[in-house]
Structure 1
Amino acid sequence: MKQGRNPPLYTPEERKRRDASPWTLVQGILAPIQFVVFLASLCLVLRYLATGEGLGIATASVVVKTLTLYAIMITGCIWEKVVFDRYLFAPAFYWEDVFSMLVLALHTAYLAAVAFDALGAQGQMILALAAYATYVINATQFILKLRAARRGDGGAHAGAPTDALEPAR
């Protein structure tokens, strides 16, 4: 075996569990839905920041985006438990899960800001953009991980936070 090569993302047993799990399909469906919701919401948030119009629809879109994030995170934890026998921080997805916590924290902070009428409308939209930036980074992590797994070179190097997507959380 060559030096420096990453271990496989899945053991043969984990791959069987992944392929047999209905949660793999759920993740595969939720990921593109979340991305479409993200793109629509991003446009609405940017429109509000540029024109001052459409605060209600922009706010609603960020709430919907956050709810889709919660759905994919919860089902992703179930998927991880089925495949790796732990709900979070399986070695193969450790850094993706760590960064996912920041994504969740910022999206949740947005909901709290709206609920408690904190930061003002513009501040809330800027917080939404910060949450969205972390989402893009996290999605990129997972996409890179998925591509590495498909190439068969592992992509599970535990020390590299940029190794990263499967399933897209």
Structure 2
Amino acid sequence: MGGGGITSVKTTRGAHIALEVIVGEPRKPLPRGSDFYTPEQRLRRDSSVWTTVQGVLAPLQFLAFALSLVFVINFLANGTGYSAAVISVLIKTLFLFTIMVTGAIWEKVVFGRYLFAPAFFWEDVVSMLVIFLHVAYVVSWLFDLQAPREQMWLAIAAYTAYVINAAQFLLKLRAARVGSSQNNTDSVNEYAVEVSR
């Protein structure tokens, strides 16, 4: 090719990507959108046993949360089942600490740091609030710092933070899948451009 030009490629999403072809200079890579994993990080994520551990613990924690929420609401509404509500919150807290520890190990394996990796910075920030509220409940219960109803409202606050945090991670997981799919599509399109040249 004797000079620079513009090659237009239509993606499966119906968008057009203009690629400037400059002879003698490498073309800049296309933006990867929501794909915040590097190829090396994605490989470590997919090959790590801690990814499987997180995938198992997350739904188990949600199940513990859902059951506990029933017990807590029952106590707040009817004044009965306090012991069952307490036990359920303690079980939920145990799941939380387990998934936080294993999640930190997973983050270290994939991103090289235990907490606040850029890809999950805000998720980790909210996770700290979730841990704080759960610990506050346990301390309040252990040392009888609040009345039972106040303790249960503290549990509700902890659960609200947990739901927000879980939503963050679900949205990030969805974004990662969309980004990975777009990444694969872009790779095919780039190959088509190279062949057409």
State TM-score, norm by structure 2: 0.75
1:90 maps to what in 2?
A: 117
Query: Equivalences for 1:85-164 in 2 at 5 Å?
Result: 85-152=112-179
User: 1 or 2 for the larger relative contact order (CA 8 Å, sep ≥6)?
Assistant: 1
Whole-angstrom distance in 2 between the partners of 1:16 and 1:113:
43
Deviation track 1:59-96 (CA, whole Å, cap 9, x = no partner) reads: 00000000000000000000000000000000000000
Is the strand fraction higher in 1 or 2?
A: 2
Q: Which has the larger radius of gyration?
A: 2
Q: Is the 8 A contact 1:106 1:130 kept in 2?
A: yes
Percent identity between the two aligned chains:
59
**Across the two proteins, how many residue pairs are aligned to each other?**
154
Whole-angstrom distance in 2 between the partners of 1:110 and 1:31:
21
Structure 2 unaligned regions, length at least 5: 1-16, 19-30, 182-197
Q: Is the 8 A contact 2:35 2:175 kept in 1?
A: no
1:21 has 2:48 as partner: yes
Whole-angstrom distance in 1 between the partners of 2:35 and 2:171:
14
Whole-angstrom distance in 2 between the partners of 1:81 and 1:7:
21
Deviation track 1:99-142 (CA, whole Å, cap 9, x = no partner) reads: 00000000000000001101110000000000000000000000
RMSD of aligned C-alpha atoms? Answer: 1.9
State TM-score, norm by structure 1: 0.87
Report the CA distance between 1:8 and its aligned residue: 2.2
Output the amino acid matched with 1:97.
D
